[in-house]
Chains A and B, each alone.
Chain A
Amino acid sequence: MLLREGNIRIPAGCAISGIMNKKGLLFSGDDIVKSIALMHERSNGLGGGFAAYGIYPEYKDLYAFHVFYHHSGAKEDTETFLKKHFDIKLSGEIPTRKVPSIKDVPIIWRYFVLPREDKLMEWGLAEEEFVVRCVMRINSNIDGAFVVSSGKNMGVFKGVGYPEDIGEFYMLDTYKAYIWTAHGRFPTNTPGWWGGAHPFTLLDWSVVHNGEISSYDANRRWIEMFGYKCTLQTDTEVITYIFDLLIRRHGLPLDIVVTALAAPLWDEIQRMDDERQELVKAIRAVYGSALINGPFSIILACKNGILALNDRIKLRPMVAATKGDFVFVASEESAIRAVCPQPDRVWAPMGGEPVIALLEGVEDIWP
């Protein structure tokens, strides 16, 4: 029998795409589906998914949990756990359409919740940290349950299938968001587990990623020192945790985080002025284990905006474009032109050169 993701490490190739409106204007999921669908050949029908920001304005102060259940027992256990730790304001099944190619569908539920005050006191944690711990506990302790996303005013829609079919299945044309990211997966072998599809999320971080990182175990063993549990054995998971640690917990500015993840080469560092050199050296010395080595292109999204980044020697494709208040990033230029035939500017970012797009009036990607 094939092992489920998390018990085995499965390399995968991929397509990624992201569209954002910097003014926060909401737009439907039609374009992102069109964009990722154009790169059909880059995935193999074994995983597709989307992250959307701004979709739940009426519940924007509540944590939106999207959860997969593989059997009703898992749902019961999880709901018992959720009731104990959260006030559930609203819950229900996530509406879907029947699509012939989408099979083995789990129970897909969503909850709008707030942590219970008494539990926060008891655990002595900030709200966000509390949510992180609870999500990790559900994912690692409750068999058959998987929290797909847990941020505010955002959600992830993913599954096994080509991304365009997944988009159709989740009726993304009926949602409106100001950031959409998408992922089409080409795993080399997988029993087709819905939780293994991308994007991967934590709080309102979501990551879509194309690549197979060679530094995986160095990154994993380092991040686990800080209390994260890498249950899926995927690159995307470990990358998400690294972002969360560096940005949210260590409070580092985004440019420093980028320098750690896709560090400049020593040749380049040697040419920097003394002060900069000292800083970058310190980053490489202290965060050497956070260096993501090997091919990747990623789009990190959160409520404030997106960051797109390539590995430092650009072993995976990534193209960016702008048109008015819109920013586009995709594995291929064609995927951008499919939805925006005449962009104002199109460019291929250099290895390690970030593309950062933030909402107007926001200073950094966090908080």
Chain B
Amino acid sequence: MAISLLTPEFIIERNDARCIRCQVCVRQCANLAHIYDQEEDRVLADDSKCVNCHRCVTLCPTRAITIRKNPLEFKENASWTATAIREIYKQAETGGILLTGMGNDKPYPIYWDRMLINASQVTNPSIDPLREPMELKTFLGRKPEMLKVENGKLKEKLPPQLELEVPIMFSAMSFGSISFNACQALAMAASELGIMYNTGEGGLHKNLRKYGKNTIVQVASGRFGVDPEYLNAGAAIEIKIGQGAKPGIGGHLPGEKVTAQISQTRMIPLGSDAISPAPHHDIYSIEDLRQLIFSLKEATDYRKPVAVKIAAVHNVAAICSGIARAGADIIVIDGFRGGTGAAPLRIRDNVGIPIEFALAAVDTRLRQEGIRNQVSLVCAGGIRNSSDVIKAIALGADAVYIGQAALIAMGCHMCQKCYTGKCNWGIATQDPNLVKRLNPEIAARRLVNLIKAWAHEMKEMLGGMGINAIESLRGNRFMLRGIGLTSREL
């Protein structure tokens, strides 16, 4: 075989004086970047295999390891950057589509960072969340335009609602794209927090059915794991049309990841490729979507809200208006920085629009049409912290989904190699030896901590604005000011 033209992306530096030859790094690296040379009693490294996931760095008992970006330079060229050249080498060697994992990492503007939040001074008091109640409870689902009350009683019951203690949910991540332990951690955390996690298109493992009250079950184009029991097992159903990281294309779980457990949960043969087609083959139009929405409602006796998730694309406002009118109770808009287990690099990095614009456009459009109350809006894709959440809600979201932030809380280091199945942190892998590295209890604790911390921060920000209930922030754009935005962007 010809020599590869690709030079290592990272270099592993080992302080030999510190190294005690315990070989933890050797055993921990699923990419086989560390090698123990018995004859010389030295640990060597194959830099080309390193993905910079920090597993060895974190676990090295003597802190002997550092990973650096390879300082090797190509001749400076503004057009042909190192990345551009390396990508060509890869494709020339393999003839394949470039794959990647997690969300868009390109330096596109992040509009959350160009918005600032208001606070009260003098004319209205700020509210101290340590002294006063501060309410984050949120209901997702279709709301009637008005209530009918007779003799102090509700004349008509509300359509089904999801009741969230904090307006944050864990995004769809399938069993297959992530490990069972990771799924279990998300389910346990959601259950403790009074929020929702989402099965993604991975079916629902029988051991996780007990978390049904806090589960959104997803129906996507492959229909994996979908049967009436599955639909009724969760608190809500989500139809996935698209995903922010890869709008317009489907998904592919390679056969080698389809273990016995996954085969059972997804209801597909062991070792077979699980392919989710780009479109749903029964949805070629908005009227077809309506049929699926109502089929699912029929199957669940109208007891569960049905969400429709789409990627944020250019015409998102009109599409969402159609989805609302097609009968969806919740619309999820996933922006172009949303995460993924695997996506073609070109799609991830170049398709879709920023969630901030999409959300603002959709909320405005639904209000102009007077149908904003018919659906709840969930904003997903690149939410990094509690102030992003506050800004999203002030722009018009009812709640947000977090995926990447949740994974990072569990231990992900954003090496973007989820698609290889060799996640050293036991998250994006099906290798039993790697999966057992993720302790579901500990991971769940970390997720709970994260959401609780964000909730505290959100309460502080709300109090500062003089607001003590999250619904008074929803769509309250007076609470935001743009900074460094053109008037068009504003």
Contacts and interface: CB of A to CB of B under 8 A. Distances in A.
Given A225-B367, A256-B149, A214 B472 contact: yes
B144 interface: yes
A81 interface: no
A177 to B, nearest CB: 32
A226 interface: yes
Given A224-B367, A267-B133, A279-B153, A217 B467 contact: no
Given A218-B473, A218-B475, A250-B147, A282 B125 contact: no
Given A215-B476, A252-B147, A282 B154 contact: yes
Contacts of B125: 295, 315
A265 interface: yes
A315 B468 CA distance: 12
Nearest to A216: B478
B467 A294 contact: yes
A216 B370 contact: no
B186 interface: no
Contacts of B479: 214, 217
A214 B123 contact: no
A285 B398 CA distance: 11
Given A266-B135, A275-B153, A295-B466, A217 B476 contact: yes
Contacts of B154: 278-279, 282
Contacts of A213: 124
Most buried by A among B152, B153, B161, B472: B472
B139 interface: yes
A9 B471 contact: no
Nearest to A225: B370
Given A226-B370, A275-B153, A293-B472, A285 B465 contact: no
Contacts of B481: none
B158 to A, nearest CB: 5
Interface residues of A, number: 47
B120 A214 contact: yes
B481 to A, nearest CB: 12
Contacts of A312: 468
**Secondary structure of the B contact surface, majority rule:** loop
Contacts of A267: 133
Contacts of A225: 367, 370, 372-373
A221 B472 contact: no
A294 B124 contact: yes
A349 interface: no
A286 B471 CA distance: 10
B124 A295 contact: yes
Nearest to B466: A214
A234 interface: no
Interface string A269-306: 00000010011011111111101011100000000000
A277 to B, nearest CB: 11
B132 interface: yes
Nearest to B465: A214
A281 B138 CA distance: 11
B471 A266 contact: no
Interface string B447-490: 00000000000000000011111011111111100000000000
Contacts of B471: 218, 284, 288-289, 291
Contact of B135 (A265, A287, A294): A265
Nearest to A312: B468
A285 B158 contact: yes
B137 interface: yes
B216 to A, nearest CB: 18
A241 B411 CA distance: 50
Contacts of B139: 281, 284-285, 288
A284 to B, nearest CB: 7
B446 interface: no
A253 interface: yes
Contact of A13 (B123, B157, B367, B477): B123
B347 interface: no
22 contacts: A13-B123, A214-B476, A214-B479, A216-B478, A217-B476, A221-B476, A221-B477, A222-B372, A224-B367, A226-B370, A253-B149, A265-B133, A284-B471, A285-B139, A285-B141, A286-B158, A288-B139, A288-B469, A294-B124, A294-B466, A315-B124, A315-B125
